[in-house]
Amino acid sequence: MKHGIAELEWNDYLDGRATDEVRDRIEAHLIGCLECWEFYEQMSGATQELLEAGEEARQGLTLEDRQLHAMLRGVFARLGTTEAGAAAPSCVQGQLNLLETVLAPFCGTQAAVSALHAAAENSPAHSLDRVTPDNWEPFLKKLTAIAAAMCGETFAGLVWESGQF
């Protein structure tokens, strides 16, 4: 403790989390103590720089979707074939559900389900329950083509974007 201010009190004050009593005491002291004022200036400046540098790191270190999905596949591979086998369809199921929610408002639920089945049957999966991450892309291309025929190119683009893993 220096000049009656404990380190934890300084820390809370710099974070803007000090109690009213502590904040008032520190601020009253800072008015009359040049040494503590300089210390505060240096510490608050460093805190600000650290927060900005943290933001810079968050902006600078990003990850492309391609890398993200490759890593996810790697995780399932490490979880073992049994778990991975079970996991992959669930991820696919989530994407299929999403596509159905995209399609349904434009063409109705029945037509949306039919479009999904038609795309699967005309892709290497041959049926909707056999669509996997490995044969997802040709399936999605077929579905996009069907969506274009049903509702136009703009809507097809939305389907294509929504279907990306």
Q: Which residues bind other proteins (CB under 8 A)?
A: 7-8, 10-12, 14, 41-43, 45-47, 49-51, 53-54, 56-58, 60-63, 67-68, 71-72, 74-75, 78-79, 83, 86-88, 90-91, 93-94
List residues bridging with 2 in a β-sheet.
5
Closest to other proteins by CB, 7 vs 35, is 7
Residue pair 25/45 in contact (Cβ under 8 Å)? The answer is no
| Phi, psi angle pair for 2, to nearest 5° | -130, 130
Give dist(CA 100, CA 117) in Å, integer: 11
163: DSSP letter? T
Closest to other proteins by CB, 1 vs 110, is 1
User: Which residue in 105, 99, 107 sits closest to 150, CA to CA?
Assistant: 107
Residue pair 165/91 in contact (Cβ under 8 Å)? The answer is yes
Q: How far is the CB of 80 from other proteins (least distance, A)?
A: 9
Closest to other proteins by CB, 70 vs 149, is 70
Q: How far is the CB of 128 from other proteins (least distance, A)?
A: 17
Q: How far is the CB of 152 from other proteins (least distance, A)?
A: 29
Closest to other proteins by CB, 33 vs 87, is 87
Q: How far is the CB of 52 from other proteins (least distance, A)?
A: 8
Residue pair 143/114 in contact (Cβ under 8 Å)? The answer is no
Give dist(CA 51, CA 165) in Å, integer: 33
Closest to other proteins by CB, 55 vs 153, is 55
Please give the structure tokens belonging to residue 77. Answer: 């591979």
Q: How far is the CB of 115 from other proteins (least distance, A)?
A: 22
